[in-house]
Chain A
Amino acid sequence: MDYFIELLFSGLSRGAIYALIALGYTMVYGIIGLINFAHGEIYMIGAFTSFIIATILTILGFPGLAIILLAGLAAVIWSASYGYTIEKVAYKPLRHAPRLSALISAIGMSMFLQNYVLLAQTSDFLPFPQLIPDFDFMEPIAHIVGSSDMVILVTTTVVMICLTILIKYTKIGKAMRATSQDRTMAMLVGINVNRIISITFIIGSSLAAIGGMLVASHIGQINFYIGFIAGIKAFTAAVLGGIGSIPGAVLGSVVLGLTESFATGYVSSDYEDVFAFSLLVLILIFKPSGLLGKADTQKV
C-alpha cells in the first residue's frame, strides 16, 4: 500500500508540473484556435530568468522567501513580455491566414527561442539552487512527498481555482469566453479582441514562468532544451483532457502523470512513454475532443 501511495504522489507531482504548462496551451487554443508550440520555451525562459535573479539575490544575501518571490516575479514579468511580444510578432499577422501557417510560425518561434537562449546563455546544464527548503514538518513523509512536490501541488491547485474564478465570475473572463466562442461577434458587441488575446497570452506565459521556476527548483538543473520536452508532454496532457478546457488541462495532466508513474512502478520504466501515449490514442479514439472537451459544432 505504501508503494502505491508513493507512486500516486509521484504521479500527482508530475501531473502538477505538466498542468502548469498545459494550462497555457489550453487557454491559447481556446481563444484563437492555435497550438502555441513556443509555450514550452516560455517555460524555459521563466526558469532561466528566475535562475539569474535567484543567483544575484543569493549573492546579495537576501532571505530565502524574498528570493523565491522576487525571482518568481521577475520570471513572470519577463515571460509575460515574451508571450505578449511573440503573439504580436508571430501570431497576430497570421490571424486571418490558414491555421497551418500560424502553426508553422509557432514551431519556428519555438526553435528560434531555443537557439536564442542557447546562444545568449550556454549549452551547459546549469545547476538551479534549491529555492524551496526542506520543511521540517514534512520530514516523516519526505520519502513520499517532498517539500517542493507539495509546493508544486498547492500552487497548481491555487492557480486552477484562481483561473476558474477569473473565467467564470469576472468581466474579463466573460470577455475571454465570448472571444473564444465567436471572435467576430465579440468584436461587434464592443469587446477589444486584441487586448483580450494579449491578456490570455500574458496569463498563460505567467503560469508557465511560475511553473518553470518551481520545476527547475524541484529538479535542480536547467538547460535550453527543457522547454521542448516538457512542452510536448504538457501539450499531450492538454489534448488528453480536452484542449480549450481549463479543468480539462489539469485533469489531462494528472491522468498523464499518474499513468506514467504507475506504468513505471508496476510494469517497467522502459514502457512508460508507450503507456502514456497509448492512453492518449485510446481516449482520442473514443472521445475525439478529449476527456472534458466539447465537440466543436460549426454553425452554418
Chain B
Amino acid sequence: MLVIFLVWKKLIKLITEEFMKLNLSKKLIAAAAGLMLVAAAPVAGFAQDTIKLGVVGPHSGDLASYGLPSVNAAKILAEQINAAGGINGKKIELLVEDTVCDAKTATDVATKLISDGAQIVLGGICSGSTKAALPIYKDSGILVMSPSATNPALTQSGDYDNFFRTIAPDDAQAQLDVDFALDKLGYTKIAVVHDKGDYGKGFAEFAKKFLEESGKAEVVLFEGVTPGAVDYSAIVQKIKKSGAEAVMFGGYHPEASKIVTMMKKKRLKADFISDDGVKDNTFIKVAGKFAESAYASGPTDTSSNPLNKAAVAAHKAEYNADPGAFYENAYSAVLAMANAVKVAGSTDLDALKKALQSEKVDTPVGTISFDERGDAIGVGFSVYQVQDGVFVELK
C-alpha cells in the first residue's frame, strides 16, 4: 500500500512539473484533456440503476419510415413498463441513435452506445448496417434484437451469437414468394432484380436459387440496379426483351416504386413481386396508381391478435396515427427482451440467451420463443397485393 502511495505521489509530482513547463495554450489543452479523462471515468459506474435499452435504426433520410415505428414501440413500452415499476425494480432508459441504414454510421453508433453503457439493443433495421455493427456489440457481450433485419446469414452463419430477431429470415420470404409465383401465378419466366445491397441482393439470390431448384421456371435475368439512379428505363427495356412474365425485386421501396412506375410507363405487362422492404405504405403513396396489383411479402398479418390490437391502439392514442413498418415486430422484441431480463435477473448475455430460448412470450406477433441460432419460432410471412391503394393479405 505504502509503495503504491509513494509511486502515485511521484507520478503526480512529475505530471505537475511537466504541466508547469508548458506555455499557456498548451496548458489549457492539457487541462481540458485531463478534465475529459476524469469526467469520462465515472460514467461506466452509473449503469447499474437503470436498464439502458439502445434503439438504433434509420430515423432520418429516405429509409426513416422503416426505423421510426420501432422507436415509437420502444417509447410506448418503456413508459408502460416503467409505470408498472420497471424490470426487477429498475427503470428502462432509452438511448435512441440514428444510423440512417449506413454501415459506417452504424458502427460509430455502436461504439457510442457501448461507451454510454447500453446493455441491450433494439435494432438495427437494415441488414447491411446491422451486420456491420454486430461484431462491435458482440465483443462487448451486448444482446441485439432486430425487428426487421432479415438477411439469413445474421443468424445462420453462427458468427453472431448475440443476435436475435422477431421476424423470419429472407430465405423463408424468398421461398414463399417463389412458391407464390410458380404455383399461384404459374409463371415460367421470371426476371430477378436487386439493388446490390446486403438485403436486396440476399433476397434475390435466394429467389434465384429456389427458382432454379424448383425446375419449374427459368431465371431469364439476374441483375443489380444502382440505388438512387435518375432513370431505370434501360433495365426495364432489358426485362421486356428477356420475355419475363414476372419481375422479382429485392430491395427497398424507393427503387421499387421507380421501377414499377417505369414498367407501367414502358407498357411492360409483367407482374411485380417483391420483399418486405417494399411492403410499406410509402411504396403505395409514392408510386400511386402504378403500384396497383404489385405483390410484396411481409410479416403475416396478426392484427386480429388481441395484443396486436392493444399495441396498435396504444400507438394511435400516443401519436394520433397508425403505426408504420415493423412496429409489431419491434413491440414484440422489446417485450421478449424485457421478459428475458426479468427472468435472468441481469443483462448478462448468456443468461439472457438462455431465458430467450426457454421462455415463451405472448406478443403482438404471436406467442414466440427463440431457437439456438436466434430466429423467432412462431413468426412467418404472407404475400400481400396492392388492391385499390392498400396492401391486402392473400391467404
Contact = CB atoms under 8 A, between A and B. Distances in A.
Contacts of A225: 61-62, 228
A124 interface: yes
Taking each of B257, B266, B287, which has the highest tally of chain A beta carbons within 10 Å of its own beta carbon?
A: B266
B261 A269 contact: no
A127 interface: yes
Given A118-B60, A125-B62, A220-B257, A269 B224 contact: yes
A39 interface: no
Contact of B266 (A124, A146, A219, A273): A146
A229 B266 CA distance: 24
A270 B196 contact: yes
Interface string A243-281: 000000000000000001100110011101100000000
A11 B254 CA distance: 21
A146 B265 contact: yes
A142 interface: yes
A125 B237 contact: no
Contacts, number: 106
A204 to B, nearest CB: 19
Contacts of A127: 285-288
Contacts of A230: 230
B61 A10 contact: no
Interface residues of A, number: 39
A13 interface: yes
A17 to B, nearest CB: 5
Contacts of B238: 264-265, 269
Interface string B252-275: 011001100100011110000000
Interface string B229-241: 1110111011011
A270 B200 CA distance: 13
A87 interface: no
Given A118-B60, A220-B290, A265-B238, A215 B230 contact: yes
Nearest to A257: B231
Nearest to A129: B288
Contacts of A146: 265-266
Interface of A: 3, 6-7, 10-11, 13-14, 17-18, 118, 123-127, 142-143, 146, 149, 215, 218-221, 223, 225-226, 229-230, 233, 260-261, 264-265, 268-270, 272-273
21 contacts: A3-B241, A6-B240, A10-B231, A14-B234, A118-B60, A123-B61, A124-B64, A127-B287, A142-B267, A143-B240, A146-B266, A219-B231, A221-B257, A223-B254, A226-B228, A265-B237, A265-B241, A269-B224, A269-B226, A270-B224, A273-B226
Closest A-B pairs by Cβ, 3 of them: A264-B234, A10-B233, A269-B223
